[in-house]
Structure 1
Amino acid sequence: MIARVNPQGGETEVVRYGSRYPTPYGITVFETSIIWVDRNLKKVFQASKEPGSTEQPAVIRDNINMLRDVTIYDQRIQPSSAQQLNNNPCLETNGGCAHFCFALPGNQTKKCGCAFGNLGTDNEGCVVSRDDYLIYTTESAVQSLHLDTDDHGLPFPVVNVPGTSVALDFDRTDNRIYFTQSSGAGSSKISFISLSSPTSPPVVVASDLGAPDGIAYDWINKRIYYSDYINQTINSMAVDGTQRSIIAHVPRPRAIMLDPCRGYMYWTDWGTNAKIERSTLGGNFRAEIVNSSLVWPNGLTLDYEEQRLYWADASLQKIERCSLTGANREVIVSTAIYPFAMTMYGQYIYWTDWNTRSIYRANKHDGSDQRVMTQNLPSRPMDVHVLASNKQQQCNSPCQQFNGGCSHICTPGPQGAECQCPSEGRWYLADNKHCIPDNGTRCQEGQFTCMNGRCIRAQWKCDNDNDCGDGSDELERVCGSKNDFQTSVQVQMAAAFIALSAFHTCEPTVFTCGNGRCVPYHYRCDHYNDCGDNSDEVGCLFSPCDPNTEFPCNNGRCISKDYICNGINNCYDNGTSDEQNC
């Protein structure tokens, strides 16, 4: 049967009916005719498009196997003039619409639509969706999906990825999605796409990695953490790929999750003795929190509000949860088939499944209300997250001021800042703060290690004197702000002298300046400001100058009158008093 109906609906009208039309498969309309193909008869027919016509259809082509569809290639099918289109508002410049322009014939009102994202405030432009939505990777792309399963639009366009994409995470503040690309040992990558310009090519952050399987973004301290399967490590780096550090050595690392506000990180290890571990973001206080009844712990996610850790085991085909210390373990979903990655948002957990090539959702407390978010994906779904602002809660970090006192890498821990050294080069962490090039020497207890490796007394740091020679004992990250301290020295020299003398102890054979600096004792009363605050020249008894042969300098020094106005500062004072009024 071949039939037609009005675009607005209504009664169906039969155009052709009967055994002479056994399998009409594809159809098109051209002027007063309809043209269709019949797979069984292997023919292409043409007949009147009007119902009730008794004229026999004409056979245009015969004996064509596997007929599927037909269309007409003719300019009259797609008229383009304003007269032919009744001045359709979409005719010129796409009606001003960024993506799609819609207008019914004879209607001068247009309506814009978006291939991805949402309409902007002008109802013409298209912007990346401002709603919360799912982001996920397949083996070859980064994709997105609305949380409302009835909304089949895309929050942003599909981003095709060379190589195999595995893990992803996001930065809501800077509108970035970071993802890993497996391209072989030593050439795998971490890149990001900017949601401000989602059609622009991805930006590569690092391109010399082993096999980055998991990734997690520290949105407080702006660092990327990732698991490397080939190098068997958990690592971190700055968002530009520099300042890299090894956090832990792990036999078979997979998923990774961060809790930057509490200072902890979690990862799964599917080695011979599968486990889930926890440490600080700097790799300290490492502990196994789940180490039994695990085989392939693939997915991992955190419920920050209820302080629960969720994981998916592909071999045991279930999803479980426990407290952040591993206590109160319970099964949430016992019917998962091959779960790979998972995330949590609101009252639901979401996970990807390799076998069914689908993404699922279920209640986070008991696994009820299970729903398919998407299915029949062209390749295996890998990682999944819900891109939402409230998933990245804000908090203060001990690394925000003076880099936590660290010379290089600062990570927040539960007890405060933790310092790390870059993995490239040979370093040792002195005073738990400063990364010093490792030449084999170590400073003794009670000494401060300068950045140049020199050892000074611990009391000598932050005394307003460059005892190290490279200034590292006076840096802000070592001493904090010194504005108030310097003002105190200038305004109350006597009080500062007492305080600094107690703080900075000089050798008995040297003179202690008012600012705490130590100078040789014979520098005192030599008419020269060796201390920098002139305290070595205070209270000195100088012999009067001979008015016949000597010139009295402003600092009390006596010089020969022959030295006056010779172009040299023989007085050694700041005013060069022997060179004035020459």
Structure 2
Amino acid sequence: VRTCGPDHFKCDDGNCIPGSRQCNGLRDCADGSDEVNCRNMTQCNGPDKFKCRSGECIEMSKVCNKARDCPDWSDEPIKECNLNECLLNNGGCSHICRDMVIGFECDCTPGLQLIDHKTCGDINECLNPGICSQICINLKGGYKCECHNGYQMDPTTAVCKAVGKEPCLIFTNRRDIRRLGLERKEYTQIVEQQRNTVALDADFNQQMIFWADLGQKAIYSTVLDKRGEVGSHTKVIDNVQTPVGVAVDWIYKNLYWSDLGTKTIAVANFNGTKQKVLFSSGLKEPASIAVDPLSGFLYWSDWGEPAKIEKSGMNGVDRQVLVETDIQWPNGITL
């Protein structure tokens, strides 16, 4: 039968743990027997406190002072009081051994953690969410971050950024459509003399933008980057009553819009020659819409009574309500 040293606690399964770990609020015995029948003593934590095997708490300075301060003498184990266990085989520690007044503790170098009480193993830093912008690769004693194809790492922030042209913000103020470069802050007008443009979206691959004009009751498109020209644009969809939401599927090249007047959501190809109404029932005040062509889903908000946010497949199947409680005026939606 295994015997434990006087400063150790014997678990019910026969294993020995340092006595200081008994009743410390953590399971150190595999069977948890070190935390059973613990008197709820005053907390005995910190480097200047020592917990007697019998449960009392004394000052660390009283340990190994050849006087009985614990009722059970556990502060005076004769063999261990002047013994540096780290001198023999590093105390059995795989990395760092720290001698203490009674006993010793094992520790690890950065990037490693104790797997059991003596052996250090690699920390998988990649389990920390958000430690890398995109790809995390665990290394022994560390980790490294990488980016997906089409992205490069910013040397100062280590965030992955898309390779390619400067990103820009395209927006409307109802009368015209403008664009703002997000790095050089270049500010230009793309389309002018609109009557009431309220919704727009873009296909950046083809450098096209689409917008709905409530005054003209139509949806238009134009090509970006015509060397600063303002002007020519194409009517893609007419016969819409109140187009308040527009979303571009940049993969399959389709255009989705919501019509507040007819209470419908419809889809068409980019030149408007093929059209289909996806939803014409169950809509009160359809507002903003958004598409996720990578996963094949369409999302929209409806601020009718009762207000809600719904989703469906991009072909109109599997419609379901996502949010319908504690929501009143979901006027804009984005992914």
Q: Calculate the TM-score normalised by the size of structure 2.
A: 0.49
